[in-house]
Amino acid sequence: MDHQTQFLVAAVMVLYISLLVLWGMVQGRKVKNEQDYAIAGRKLPGWVAALSERATGESSWALLGLPGAAYATGLAEIWTAIGCVAGIITAWALIAFRLQAAAVRYDINTYSDFLAQKHGESAKMIRMVASFTIVFFFFFYVGAQFLGGGKTLFTLFGIDPRLGMLITAGVIVPYTLYGGFKSVVYTDVVQAIIMITTLTVGPIVGLYYIQHEPGLFADSIGGALTAAGDGYTSLTGISKGFPAGIVIAGGFSWFFGYLGGQPQLSVRFMAIADARQARKARNIGIAWTVIAYLGALSLGWIGLAIFGPNGLSDQEFVMPSVVMRIFPPAIAAILITGAIAAMISTADSLLILSATEFTESLLRPALKSMGYTKGAPLLQSRIVTGSLAVVALLLGMVINQQLIFTLVSYVWAGIGGTFSVVVLLSLFWEKYHGRAVVITIITGMLFTIIWISSGMEEIITTRMLTFIVALITAVLSSWLVKPAEKRQPAQRA
């Protein structure tokens, strides 16, 4: 990227992010109480919930990670796309409206609150175990997002990574602190619109470009995949036999983390206003997903046609490289800025989720048990949000980066696979009880940590195995462990 283009991208980024923060602050003015702060009062329009969930769920993955993987591996990356799309469609079609109805029924504000209210006989233990697990691992997840922001700014503009982390936090924290969940979801809407624009317009213009521009590696996607080598045209890469099955299973395994097991996504289902809006959200969420994944794969393969398999030093920058090549600088700068800023959709969501889980499920029950019932709940939520942001930023700066990313690697498998089982059985199997929930969560997380730490992740992905182990554990413990004394779920007036 030459200096003129670099300056243009920086100028557009500053303007875009400034407007984004302003929009978040405007929405934050509508926050009047802790329920508004934690879950937008459970009054989200369907289209807002859908776009926010999709922006949070994909973030820089759809714009940087997936196109980069498609560029590097060819057709084999289709299995990852199939797994993700199948999981997202299943979540919207079977789980979203049920979680929305449960949120209304139990008057809940947080993800763990749903599990606690659903299994009221073990509510206290579930709240403690589920919230602690979510807060601990998502705490490092927030730090990883700050790290990612710092590295991205360093790559693009040569800014010191630590300063880049401060800039990233400086963008995210103010409107998240002020407006909580409400500010977060409405800024996500802007991100989702920019993302889907990039993933639709980019491939259309890119296909026209490679067909009419001479001197490229190939003039079509098929030609690029063929010219790049046999591994690029195979659905399993260079793998054959049993290893090929591992490739397919590894890609599709992303499916299991989407089935209600990602708290930052499920809480958006719970925040939808009513069943009618939930249906609208389902349709928008599914349509956005299908279009986005087709576009992301296409951008990676178009990059292969333009640059060839060895033309880029960093595969994850194939999307920005393609966009800069096929669009005028001003348009490219807008699309690239949207892609870079998309990580905000993950960072702010993780931050507000961690803060509300900590405040609602851990801090306030502890204060209440000590006899302290005074204080402004909304102020408490904002103080906790700011405190967690500061500590996550400091952790990102001082703790070994490899340790942080190792802990983050537990999130999708450990939390995603484990909590998917917990949510599915809580919604669909009456025999599943509170003590079995606690056993499932502890077993799923321990298995994930042991499996990844032992190096077995390189052989068989824990994304699938954790789901299977958690499911077996849940079923067996439901049958073999006696439930606590049954009481009616604590519905709130």
Could you write out the three-class secondary structure of 11-77?
HHHHHHHHHHHHHHHHHHCCCCCHHHHHHHHHCECHHHHHHHHHHHHHHHHHHHHHHHHHHHHHHHH
Tell me the pLDDT band of 1, cut-offs 50, 70 and 90. low
Tell me the pLDDT band of 334, cut-offs 50, 70 and 90. confident
In a domain, 356, yes or no: yes
Residue 431 and residue 435: Cα distance in Å, rounded? 11
In a domain, 403, yes or no: no
DSSP state of 417: I
Query: How many domains, the chain?
Result: 1
pLDDT over 90 (residue 241): no
Domain that holds residue 218: 3-398
How deeply is 488 buried, as exposed, middle or buried, from its count of CB atoms within 10 A (0-12, 13-18, 19+)? exposed
pLDDT over 50 (residue 493): no
pTM across the whole model: 0.91
Q: Which residues contact 472 (CB under 8 A, 6 or more apart)?
A: none
Segment 84-113 mean pLDDT: 95
In a domain, 283, yes or no: yes
In a domain, 83, yes or no: yes
Strand locations in 393-470 (E): none
In a domain, 460, yes or no: no
In a domain, 280, yes or no: yes
pLDDT over 90 (residue 112): yes
The model's pLDDT over 399-441, given as tens digits with 9 standing for 90+, comes to 777 776 677 778 888 899 999 999 999 999 999 999 999 999 9
The model's pLDDT over 181-235, given as tens digits with 9 standing for 90+, comes to 999 999 999 989 989 999 999 999 999 999 999 999 999 999 999 999 888 999 8
- Cβ(76)–Cβ(237) below 8 Å: yes
Q: Which two tokens stand for residue 256?
A: 């299991």
Residue 126 and residue 118: Cα distance in Å, rounded? 10
In a domain, 486, yes or no: no
The model's pLDDT over 350-395, given as tens digits with 9 standing for 90+, comes to 999 999 999 988 888 888 888 776 667 888 899 999 999 999 898 8
In a domain, 415, yes or no: no
Residue 330 and residue 326: Cα distance in Å, rounded? 12
Residue 37 and residue 23: Cα distance in Å, rounded? 16
Contacts 24+ apart (CB under 8 A), 155-164: 155/314, 155/317, 156/1, 156/6, 156/9, 156/10, 156/340, 157/6, 157/10, 162/397
Tell me the pLDDT band of 45, cut-offs 50, 70 and 90. very high
Asked whether the CA dihedral 341, 69, 298, 346 is positive or negative, the reply is negative
CATH number for position 260? 1.20.1730.10
